[in-house]
Amino acid sequence: MRLLSLEEGEKAVRLARKAIETYLSEKKVVDAKFDGVFAEKRGVFTTLNKHGELRGCIGFPYPVKRLDEAIVDSAISAATQDPRFLPVKLEEMDEIDVEVTVLTPPEKLESPPEQRAEAVEIGKHGLIVVYRGYSGLLLPQVAVDHGMDEEEFLTHTCLKAGLPPDCWLMESVEVYTFEGQIFRESEPRGRVVEVNIRSCRA
């Protein structure tokens, strides 16, 4: 699966911001149809940060929609439907920087449970934990931003799913890894940059 260029990443972030601001101001969903990678089905998450603090994050782990449609839907949802936060107000968008993470398809870890931590690479992998209708996902940048090691990352993904912290050691629990290409505004409405979280970790 090919990576997005910086120009495409900038288009993705600008689209996410436009989708949010259009919805908040007009209650309309923008109809954006782009060619190339944007016509491909991709998983994607939109993350909103306000003064360095999370303000919303929702997306699609699996490639079930065209990338342009998925960006629009995830952006609006991150601003209005994240149950951890009150809906974003339009005037807040002057203080919020927008981040878009385009995902590779999740792949199931086939390692024995006790070897799962060894198969996870901090700075590369995001995680999904699935068990009996429960699921939790953490993006690759979460582990780096919070200084987690592999076991801590697995533990927090279990907790995100509403499961016991050591559930990743259970044979019946499924663990998936994926990778993400991250583009974010350097400041609200500012220059869009691609974030290399591996270098951030170093």
We report the CATH number of the domain holding residue 151 as 3.30.1490.150
pLDDT band with cut points at 50, 70 and 90 for residue 118: very high
Are residues 100 and 183 in contact, defined by beta-carbon separation less than 8 angstroms? yes
Domain that residue 150 falls in:
107-178
Q: How far apart are CA 87 and CA 95, in angstroms?
A: 14
We report the CATH number of the domain holding residue 61 as 3.30.700.20
Q: 34 and 100: one domain?
A: yes
- At 14-44, the pLDDT tens digits run 999 999 999 999 999 999 999 999 999 999 9
Count the domains in the chain. 2
Q: How far apart are CA 123 and CA 100, in angstroms?
A: 16
How many CB atoms neighbour CB 157 within 10 A? 27
Q: 45 and 84: one domain?
A: yes
Q: 135 and 147: one domain?
A: yes
Contacts of 186 (CB under 8 A, 6+ apart): 97, 192, 193
Positions of E strands within the chain:
43-50, 53-60, 96-103, 107-108, 126-131, 134-138, 174-178, 180-185, 192-195
- At 99-113, the pLDDT tens digits run 999 999 999 999 999
Q: Is residue 34 part of a domain?
A: yes
Q: 132 and 82: one domain?
A: no
Q: How far apart are CA 98 and CA 186, in angstroms?
A: 9
Q: What is the pTM of this model?
A: 0.93
Q: Is residue 1 part of a domain?
A: no
Q: 10 and 94: one domain?
A: yes
Q: Is residue 59 part of a domain?
A: yes
Structure tokens at 49: 């940060």
Q: Is residue 15 part of a domain?
A: yes
- At 120-165, the pLDDT tens digits run 999 999 999 999 999 999 999 999 999 999 999 999 999 999 999 9
